[in-house]
A and B are shown apart, each in its own frame.
Chain A
């Protein structure tokens, strides 16, 4: 038998291990890592088994038979059907960083009053359950000491209250952020669960092998005691198992410590819930398996139903270790529940009651103030629980009240279901339903007999349906729930829903991906945001919070674009929600950073939100999601460089091709302003985005030899009518290879032209050379006659003529050395170029003798390089000559029209058939015989004109008899330097 001294040592040792573990997690990284593992979270959910269930479940089975397992089955059912309730709630909690039921209700119904009401009602209803843990522990202590009727062990309860309050104070005040607080809490609760499960399994194993000598022995005992089995399957008191399951189903939502562990644990620590769906029911199965062997073994050893069967078994078995383990199991269960309750209730009370009554004062240190408030609240809750324990001397009554706590938790079920499945539910309906349900519940709590005697419960439909007439708590559960549901539905239908509530309702019901009420803020710097928060939070806390948020999203102080501001505010909202709760956090941010009505350009933010939330969309929404994915995929894989940018010229998408062309990774480009991109792309793209031109051709980026040739195109997507978003689309076409090819083609064509001209050149040069030869022969005679000077002049004249021919040819041949694209400043005299071109063409003696007639206005200057213009004219005129017959005339006229120069080239040739006119500018299109033409002449003419922002048109025939062709070229006017 254990003595009080041993129990005291056990309590001290247990809490030494408890605080030691907490300290170890703070200092040891490996232990901290363990708390982040899913298994730690899953084991911590063993908090479901309280000290009360640990000790009294055997008693409940003895009285209520198989129905007593409704507790475990109800809670298992809520996990097994997690996609219906827990998962959607969890996703909401995760998305909006909600850590309590009060947070959830105040968020959904956009009402701080909903949060405050929920907090106060939860506190009121959970206190008997809180006190029941103390009562159960004290009773177990007395039974272990061997005196069922002994005085209450106040020493144990006082010590327990001090230790648990101390643990809660340590957890609540050491870490301001909920996530850090939770790592320690999860580890501590997991520790208590392991101890509890080990104790239960030890009891079960002792019962089977220590008492019955194995499973066969237990089976034989059951054969010998058919009454035991009969009582198990058909108990004398039959509660409504449906109502029981429903109550325990709702307890996960309505019990603050369970909500805290299930939702806050998963919310603050990433994706942990996934396998809890089956792991928690499995844990509950393991915890419930030893219950029956323990009960039957204790009955076998003479347990008369007084006290706890588990304790009776440990004592009857005369095994001190088992008694100690049984005590530690119950102590661990109670400690876990009380610490979690202290934290959950204090967080709700601070966020939804205290901070509403006493708002933060920026002149004070808010961190210190919050710590003081949290400490005071935890101490207050512990004192209140202890006070209730002292006042409630009747253990049976206390147990009745605790059962009513479970019934009270049912009152939040309609609100939660409406939150997820009925967007018509509103604040007034929720509050009315809650008020109606709790009023009925309170009436049953305080005047149970009066109500039952005043009602003919046997006539009520639910008593007939669910057989609840025997249980006052079952009747109270059913009636309060009905009052609640009727109030919620009726008032929600009759009253109007507020605008902000409607938005959040939509977000909750449809799992809408956009954050409710998300707008851009009219601020572009982290410093500015910190300054705006300072009047509410104080200078230092405001800067601390902004710094923390910036660090989380990997940004620096300074100027931020719209998307970065959105990200920063989201991070701030998460951190402030963890610190102050969602209501105060939202009010703080709203007051400091009023939303701008303009939602322009926040596409990246919305995209990230979409990617971050892995939920399923159905129907049209699903189709839209698929379309969006296809659009993104197409954009990403497009072989042409593509980017989109918002009206702030911040890049919102950046595909692979553009990353290859520019050498800038997507992660370095996204969300950045165009101008901030690495040189030379930043200036090029920014200038083009700002300019009025929608297309820009053949832009050289970088140096002449190592740079790239690109075409730029842009298009504005129309402002979206719903989201008010607008973005611009910019395409970059890499034409470096085409440009190189084109240069080679031009060079080839030039060489071909030189070849064609060579014969003419030889002939042309031949005449002056012959002349020079004759003059040289006559030179001796001329010297004698004194005419040598004239002869020398004639020779020089002939030489000049040769020089002129050679220079023209050389100029033409070297024209392609100019390969620097379009020289914006190059200008040339149209008359001079026309004369040069005709002179060169005249060298080709094999061609028809046609006349070139020039009508060029004086001083007509064209904004084009001289060699390019000559090349253009040669190609055009040689084609005209080829189409002409002997003796015909080709007329070239040029005149200035406004800011352009019009050049007309008209021949009297055979003309161009209509079906050929669309193709003549295409490369390699020719109607000449094979070997006579390359088909590149007119395509080069077209390319040169395009390069110089001009245009060319063709008209054929020109005359009424169907002959002649007119080319009309328009080029920008230039000015000679």
Chain B
């Protein structure tokens, strides 16, 4: 497969954290932007992951 082990780790962590993140977003009140904060955080995490894969070469998992 083509998946880097760090990607698997991140996706698995996100899957585990999804209910907590959802609750946090849903309890935002006037902080309507929480969903976008989470979204942005995930994008940044994956962008960093992409850089990591690029720097270290091809996936190993």
Query: Footprint of A on B, CB under 8 Å?
Result: 1-4, 7, 11, 25-26, 28-30, 32, 35-36, 39-40, 42-44, 46-47, 50, 54, 58-61
- Is there an interface contact between B30 and A275, defined as CB atoms closer than 8 Å? no
Distance between Cα atoms of A615 and B4 in the complex (Å): 11
Could you list some 29 contacts between A and B, CB below 8 A? A66-B35, A73-B39, A76-B43, A80-B43, A80-B46, A81-B11, A83-B2, A83-B4, A84-B11, A88-B1, A219-B30, A222-B32, A229-B30, A274-B54, A275-B47, A277-B46, A278-B46, A278-B47, A281-B42, A282-B43, A285-B39, A285-B40, A285-B43, A288-B36, A511-B1, A616-B1, A616-B58, A616-B60, A616-B61
- Is there an interface contact between A222 and B30, defined as CB atoms closer than 8 Å? yes
In the complex, A292 has a CB within 8 A of chain B: yes
- Is there an interface contact between A274 and B43, defined as CB atoms closer than 8 Å? no
Contacts of A81 in B (CB 8 A): 11
Distance between Cα atoms of A281 and B49 in the complex (Å): 15
Contacts of B35 in A (CB 8 A): 66, 69
Q: How far is the CB of A953 from chain B (nearest CB, A)?
A: 58
- Is there an interface contact between B30 and A289, defined as CB atoms closer than 8 Å? no
Distance between Cα atoms of A80 and B61 in the complex (Å): 18
- Is there an interface contact between B26 and A233, defined as CB atoms closer than 8 Å? yes
Interface residues of A in 69-93 (CB under 8 A from B): 69, 73, 76, 80-81, 83-84, 87-88, 91
- Is there an interface contact between B43 and A91, defined as CB atoms closer than 8 Å? no
Contacts of A233 in B (CB 8 A): 26, 28
Contacts of A229 in B (CB 8 A): 29-30, 32
Contacts of A278 in B (CB 8 A): 43-44, 46-47, 50
Contacts of A281 in B (CB 8 A): 39, 42-43, 46
The 8 A CB mask of A251-295 against B (1 = contact, 0 = none) is 000000000000000000000001101100110010011001000
Q: How far is the CB of B19 from chain A (nearest CB, A)?
A: 12
Contacts of A91 in B (CB 8 A): 2
- Is there an interface contact between B36 and A289, defined as CB atoms closer than 8 Å? yes
In the complex, A14 has a CB within 8 A of chain B: no
Contacts of B2 in A (CB 8 A): 83, 87-88, 91, 511, 615-616
Distance between Cα atoms of A277 and B2 in the complex (Å): 14
In the complex, A223 has a CB within 8 A of chain B: yes
Q: How far is the CB of B30 from chain A (nearest CB, A)?
A: 5
Q: Which 5 A-B pairs have the closest CB atoms?
A: A278-B47, A616-B59, A83-B3, A222-B30, A278-B46
Query: At the interface, is chain A mostly helix, strand, loop or mixed?
Result: helix
Chain B residue nearest in CB terms to A278: B47
Chain B residue nearest in CB terms to A241: B22
Interface residues of A in 269-323 (CB under 8 A from B): 274-275, 277-278, 281-282, 285, 288-289, 292
Distance between Cα atoms of A568 and B47 in the complex (Å): 39
Distance between Cα atoms of A80 and B7 in the complex (Å): 10
Chain A residue nearest in CB terms to B58: A616
Contacts of B29 in A (CB 8 A): 229
Distance between Cα atoms of A229 and B36 in the complex (Å): 16
- Give me 14 other A-B pairs in contact (C-beta within 8 A), A76-B43, A232-B32 excluded: A76-B39, A83-B1, A83-B7, A88-B1, A233-B26, A275-B47, A278-B46, A281-B39, A281-B46, A288-B36, A511-B1, A511-B2, A616-B59, A616-B60
Q: How far is the CB of B41 from chain A (nearest CB, A)?
A: 11
Q: How far is the CB of B11 from chain A (nearest CB, A)?
A: 6
- Is there an interface contact between A66 and B26, defined as CB atoms closer than 8 Å? yes
In the complex, A453 has a CB within 8 A of chain B: no
In the complex, A777 has a CB within 8 A of chain B: no
Contacts of A511 in B (CB 8 A): 1-2
In the complex, A149 has a CB within 8 A of chain B: no
Interface centre among B1, B50, B59 (most CB of A within 10 A): B1
Q: How far is the CB of A286 from chain B (nearest CB, A)?
A: 10
Distance between Cα atoms of A413 and B42 in the complex (Å): 24
Distance between Cα atoms of A229 and B30 in the complex (Å): 7
Contacts of B54 in A (CB 8 A): 274
Distance between Cα atoms of A66 and B40 in the complex (Å): 16
- Is there an interface contact between A615 and B46, defined as CB atoms closer than 8 Å? no
In the complex, A614 has a CB within 8 A of chain B: yes
Contacts of B4 in A (CB 8 A): 83
Contacts of A932 in B (CB 8 A): none
Interface residues of A in 611-660 (CB under 8 A from B): 614-616, 618
The 8 A CB mask of A495-539 against B (1 = contact, 0 = none) is 000000000000000010000000000000000000000000000
Interface centre among B11, B26, B32 (most CB of A within 10 A): B32
Contacts of A88 in B (CB 8 A): 1-2
Contacts of A277 in B (CB 8 A): 46-47, 50
Q: How far is the CB of B60 from chain A (nearest CB, A)?
A: 7
Distance between Cα atoms of A581 and B7 in the complex (Å): 34
Q: How far is the CB of A744 from chain B (nearest CB, A)?
A: 52
Contacts of A285 in B (CB 8 A): 36, 39-40, 43
Chain B residue nearest in CB terms to A73: B39
Chain A residue nearest in CB terms to B42: A80
Q: How far is the CB of A543 from chain B (nearest CB, A)?
A: 40
Distance between Cα atoms of A282 and B58 in the complex (Å): 24
Contacts of B7 in A (CB 8 A): 83
Q: How far is the CB of A298 from chain B (nearest CB, A)?
A: 16
Contacts of A73 in B (CB 8 A): 39
Distance between Cα atoms of A84 and B4 in the complex (Å): 10
Contacts of B11 in A (CB 8 A): 81, 84
- Is there an interface contact between A615 and B43, defined as CB atoms closer than 8 Å? no
A69-B35, A229-B30, A282-B43 given; A274·B61 CB < 8 A? no
Q: How far is the CB of B32 from chain A (nearest CB, A)?
A: 6
Distance between Cα atoms of A223 and B42 in the complex (Å): 29
Chain A residue nearest in CB terms to B39: A285
Distance between Cα atoms of A275 and B49 in the complex (Å): 11
Contacts of A83 in B (CB 8 A): 1-4, 7, 59
Contacts of A76 in B (CB 8 A): 39, 43
Chain B residue nearest in CB terms to A79: B46
Distance between Cα atoms of A511 and B2 in the complex (Å): 9
Interface centre among B29, B36, B42, B43 (most CB of A within 10 A): B43
Contacts of A289 in B (CB 8 A): 36
Contacts of B58 in A (CB 8 A): 614-616
Contacts of A219 in B (CB 8 A): 30
Distance between Cα atoms of A605 and B45 in the complex (Å): 39
Q: How far is the CB of A732 from chain B (nearest CB, A)?
A: 35
Q: How far is the CB of A876 from chain B (nearest CB, A)?
A: 63
Chain B residue nearest in CB terms to A230: B29
The 8 A CB mask of A214-231 against B (1 = contact, 0 = none) is 000001001100000100
Chain B residue nearest in CB terms to A281: B43
Distance between Cα atoms of A229 and B61 in the complex (Å): 44
Distance between Cα atoms of A396 and B22 in the complex (Å): 31
Chain A residue nearest in CB terms to B27: A233
Contacts of A87 in B (CB 8 A): 2
Distance between Cα atoms of A288 and B39 in the complex (Å): 11
